[in-house]
Amino acid sequence: MKKSRLVVIGNGMAGMRTVEELLKLAPDRYDITVIGREPYGNYNRIMLSPVLAGEKHFDDIVLHTPEWYKRHGIELVSGQTVVDINRSRREVLTDEGLVFPYDRLLLATGSVPFIIPVPGHDHPSVVSFRDIQDVERMLAVTEHKRRVAVIGGGLLGLEAANGLLKRGVEATVIHDVSCLMNRQLDSEAAHLLERDLAARGMKFKLGAQTKQIVARDSEHLSHIEFKDGSLLETDLVIMAVGIRPNVALAKQAGLQVDKAILVSDTLQTFDPKIYAVGECVQHRGSLFGLVAPLYEQARVCATHLAEIGVSRYVQKATATTLKVSGVNLFSAGDFSGKDAEVIVLRDVSAGVYKRLFLKENKLVGAVLFGDTQDGSWYFDLIGRQTNVAGLRDELLFGKREMADA
């Protein structure tokens, strides 16, 4: 039986997890071609921070080596970018003129870093933090330059600053609001995080709006100017202010795109021959950036590519469990505090903070700092909408203490 042809555009974690799942279900169904713009196999982008910090090497974070693709009969086309999808002929064209026909096409084009379009943003000493080339550029610059400004006080920005601190570089985090990680933490946990990171040598400029990045010449930066008139001298600027779905190719091909590529519950686009997974998709109005939903999308999509699929992708609540520069953090649910009863535990000497949010005797949100071991239990209570009226007095002390009692 002649195999069908599957072309995967994008050699990142979501696309390759889909290929892995497909190989488990139907290893002989497709001749698979994977096209990626980077000249490598698939690697774990989540682990770029340890590479930046010098704790790991690039080889340590590779998930699929070139040999892996060969061993599984997959054609890897690396270092090339798809520039056109001809849906009527079912062909894709790369920037080097190669044409690949397909019976099924999987778009896993991921996302692109957002660069604030202030004057000076296009200087070569202004970089993003998205791939291994970005890490190499940072390290090359910081061999000779010692002051770095990181624009963005989210997880990515803090990890970049922490990695460079470990390299002996002076790092200042710039954030446009007064609280770090304001999407994941309440204000008190954010200020505890700021305190702990400052004790480790990280500097901050919060509530600051960047006006322009000023260069001394074509190779060297001078400073950042802020809208309040203040200045910050720097040799390198790292933009870590978020990502946007990479949808240019899908738009060009005439697929339906809103904020990202629109997909059904089967991860199918409006062209039945084309599927999409990962950060480039929009499902029932939502966009995605965490690994867990991307891997669930991959599992569902693989069942349909294997034509044994009855699965549907269902969005699930996600918790944020993070270890930022050695500080344990957890948040889940709604912690805005609106119409909620709030109970708080503060243990300053132990560096522990817990804030739980309840509505109608049900846990609806949790923020933990320092001690996160009960995060999964709180997350389960939130997801199940368990009545915690009988647990209220012990709830802050966690599952283990309650079990002991």
pLDDT tens for each residue of 349-374: 888 999 999 999 999 999 999 999 99
pLDDT class for 336, splitting at 50, 70, 90?
confident
**Residue range 304-317: average pLDDT?**
91
Q: Which amino acid is at 207?
A: G
Q: pLDDT digit string (tens) for 233-249?
A: 999 999 999 999 999 99
C-alpha to C-alpha distance for 253 and 393, rounded to whole angstroms: 58
**Mean of the pLDDT values across residues 70-85?**
98
pLDDT of amino acid 308: 92
Looking at residues 341-349, what average pLDDT do you find? 92
Place of tokens 């340590």: 60
**Average pLDDT over the chain, rounded to whole?**
94
Kindly tell me if the per-residue pLDDT of 405 is higher than 70: no
Mean pLDDT confidence for 102-113: 98
Percent of the chain with pLDDT over 90: 87
Closest C-alpha among 377, 334, 375, 393 to residue 358: 334
Q: Are 51 and 11 in contact (CB under 8 A)?
A: no
Distance from C-alpha of 340 to C-alpha of 161, rounded to nearest angstrom: 35
- SS3 for the chain is CCCEEEEEECCCHHHHHHHHHHHHHCCCCEEEEEEECCCCCEECHHHHHHHHHCCCCHHHHEEECHHHHHHCCCEEEECCCEEEEECCCCEEEECCCCEEECCEEEECCCEEECCCCCCCCCCCCEEECCCHHHHHHHHHHHCCCCEEEEECCCHHHHHHHHHHHHCCCEEEEEECCCCCCCCCCCHHHHHHHHHHHHHCCCEEEECCCEEEEEECCCCCEEEEEECCCCEEECCEEEECCCEEECCHHHHHCCCCECCCEEECCCCECCCCCEEECHHHEEECCECCCCHHHHHHHHHHHHHHHCCCCCCCCCCCCCCEEEEECCEEEEEEECCCCCCCEEEEEEECCCCEEEEEEEECCEEEEEEEECCCCCHHHHHHHHHHCCECHHHHHHHHHHHHHHHHC
Query: Which of the pair, 393 or 68, is modelled with greater confidence?
Result: 68
Q: Beta partners for 84?
A: 93
Task: Give the list of residues 6+ apart from residue 170 with CB closer than 8 angstroms, or none.
Answer: 146, 147, 148, 203
Q: Is the pLDDT of residue 299 over 70?
A: yes
Q: What is the rounded CA–CA span in Å between residue 73 and residue 6?
A: 12
Confidence of residue 401 (pLDDT cuts 50, 70, 90): low
pLDDT of amino acid 86: 98
Mean pLDDT in residue range 133-155: 91
What band does 402 get if pLDDT is binned at 50, 70 and 90?
low
Give residue 349's pLDDT.
85
Give residue-wise pLDDT tens across range 172-219. Answer: 999 999 999 998 899 999 999 999 999 999 999 999 999 999 999 999
pLDDT in tens, 377-392: 999 999 999 999 999 9
Q: Are 374 and 399 in contact (CB under 8 A)?
A: yes
Separation between Cα atoms, residue 70 and residue 72, nearest integer Å: 5
- In the prediction, which pLDDT does 145 show? 76
Task: Calculate the alpha carbon distances from 104 to 67, 113, 274 in Å.
Answer: 24, 28, 6
Tokens of 72: 């599984």
Q: For residues 375 and 329, is the Cβ–Cβ distance under 8 A?
A: no
What does the pLDDT read at residue 338? 82
Least confident of 150-159, 182-191, 325-334: 325-334
Express each pLDDT in 27-61 by its tens digit.
Answer: 999 999 999 999 999 999 999 999 999 999 999 99
Nearest to 221 by CA among 129, 126, 117, 115: 126
